[in-house]
Copies of this chain bind each other. A is one copy, B any other.
Amino acid sequence: MRNKSEHPIITVIGCGMMGSSITWPAAYNGCKIRYVGSPLDGEIIAHARATGEHLTLKRPIPAGTEFYTVDEMDKALEGADLSICGVSSFGLDWYLDYVIPRLPDGVPVLSITKGMLHLGEGKMISYPEKMEEVAAACGKNIDFCAVGGPCTSYELADLDPSCVTFCGRKIELLREIRDLFEAPYYHVSLSTDVRGVECAVALKNAYALGVSLAIGMSYKREGREFEHYNSQAALFGQAVREMRILLNLCGGHPDNIELGAGDLYVTVFGGRTRKIGTLLGTGMSFKDAMEALKGVTLESIAIAGRTVEAAKTLESMGVIKADDLPLLYHIGRLLDNETGIDVPWKKFEKEVY
């Protein structure tokens, strides 16, 4: 990073729950934090200015944080040592089209936006790779790093011990960025396997929906809100199996399953994805479940759909068989309203000899 002052400046663009809470360990370390609201974050910025509280995290924001609207982004980026991409997957296009051309040259980015893009023909790339492409096309020299690993925003804000992984091409830069964030409750591993880290953590969104189907199934079967874990664990094990296959297809190192499994675990308990999986598990159609959860943004749905699409392309190319990924395909059929819950248990059985 260009500046190694005692109080480096970090500008986060998109100050939803995760974009905001990740800056808290950095604030703890003495960094100067600037929030820039995306076009969707107007209320968060207004509320923060008025009360010092984060509207959706419902927790006080560390003292000294400065707040900027989207129109003030250039000012917020002035002198920044690092910027954070804090938008959700749904804000990615805005970030690529509007923000990247305005980013200062040479200032690295740490992205919390997790995901893979399907480029067609079964080829998937990670968001940081896409960001790099766009920046290069603008003639900018910006290093994009990203955050993976199990971490929900509100628990990070509550100082629950969290282990994450920062990935990027340059290990030296990753170490410098880690130094800004590492805290007694925030532990950072590093990896230059960007594709592997991003693939592992993106996939968990789809599979968390898959595991939570079992919650709804047991509610439905027993007529009470009681969870059974045999069926959740069966789906969890199958998810790990399919994630390992997909990780390999994406060109990621097999070790990344450790991140994927941890991330899957936290996401099953994490709220929104769990809600839709539970509703689908009770037998509700996807259409009705989305209606019931109206207004909730579900990145997992977008990511699951994209992963199914890529898998089907790979199947048509003969790279995989549909039966290699029976849980993902069932999730795909649920999301396409082609079927209600009907877990293909028999297809999970395998013989190893």
Report Cα–Cα, A348/B262, bound state, in Å.
Answer: 13
Report B-chain residues with C-beta under 8 Å of the C-beta of A253.
352
> Does A116 count as interface, using CB distance less than 8 angstroms?
no
Q: Which of B155, B158, B270, B353 contacts A190 (CB 8 A)?
A: B353
**Integer count of this chain's copies in the complex:** 2
Q: Are B254 and A236 in contact (CB under 8 A)?
A: no
Q: Which residues of B contact A187 (CB under 8 A)?
A: 234, 345-346, 348-349
B352 in contact with A162 (CB, 8 Å): no
Least Cβ–Cβ distance between A224 and chain B, in angstroms: 12
Residue of B nearest to A238 (CB): B163
Q: Min CB distance, A238 to chain B, in Å?
A: 7
Residues of B within 8 A of A351 (CB): 171, 189-191
Contacts A229-B155, A241-B258, A258-B241 hold; do A348 and B189 have CB atoms under 8 A apart? yes
Please report which residues of chain A, range 48-101, place their CB below 8 angstroms from some CB of chain B when the two chains form the complex: none
User: Which of A5-13, A144-152, A305-313 has 4 or more CB atoms under 8 Å from chain B?
Assistant: A144-152
* Cross-chain contact A259 with B237 (CB below 8 angstroms): yes
* Complex Cα gap A150–B241 (Å): 14
Indicate whether A109 reaches chain B with its CB closer than 8 angstroms. Answer: no
- Chain B residues closer than 8 Å to A152, beta-carbon distance: 229-230
Residues of chain B within 8 A (CB-CB) of A300 are none
Q: Is the CB of B349 within 8 A of A270?
A: no
Partner of A171, one of B158, B159, B346, B353: B353
A177 at interface by CB-CB < 8 Å: no
Q: Contact string, A265-300, partner B, CB cutoff 8 A, digits 1/0?
A: 110011000000000000000000000000000000
CB <8 Å contact, B163 and A345: yes
Are A161 and B345 neighbours in the complex by a CB distance under 8 Å? yes
Query: What does DSSP make chain A's interface, helix, strand, loop or mixed?
Result: helix
Is the pair B265, A228 in contact by a Cβ cutoff of 8 Å?
A: no
In the complex, chain A residues 313-353 whose Cβ is within 8 Å of any chain B Cβ: 343, 345-346, 348-353
Q: Which residue of B lies closest to A197 (CB)?
A: B352
Interface size bucket, A side? 35 or more
**CA–CA, A244 to B259, complex, Å?**
13
* A residues 140-190 in Cβ contact with B at 8 Å: 149-152, 155-156, 158-163, 171, 187-190
- In the assembled complex, how far is the CB of residue A24 from the closest CB belonging to chain B, in whole angstroms? 13
Residues from chain B with Cβ under 8 Å of A217 in the complex: 161
Is the CB of A257 closer than 8 A to any CB of chain B?
Answer: yes
Contact with B along A218-261 (1 / 0, CB 8 A): 10011000011111111011101100100000000111011101
A150-B190 contact, Cβ under 8 Å, with A163-B345, A171-B351, A261-B236: no
Instruction: With both chains docked as a complex, state the minimum distance between the C-beta of A179 and any C-beta of chain B, in angstroms.
Output: 13
20 examples of A-B residue contacts, CB within 8 angstroms: A152-B230, A160-B231, A161-B214, A161-B231, A161-B343, A161-B345, A163-B345, A163-B349, A187-B349, A189-B348, A190-B351, A192-B352, A232-B265, A233-B263, A233-B265, A237-B259, A238-B258, A240-B257, A240-B261, A241-B255
Instruction: Kindly list the 10 A-B residue pairs having the minimum CB-CB distance in the complex, ordered from nearest.
Output: A237-B262, A150-B233, A233-B266, A163-B234, A160-B228, A191-B352, A155-B230, A162-B230, A192-B353, A171-B353
Apart from A187-B349, A238-B258: 12 A-B pairs, beta carbons within 8 A? A150-B234, A150-B236, A152-B229, A160-B228, A163-B348, A190-B351, A230-B266, A233-B263, A237-B258, A240-B262, A244-B255, A255-B352
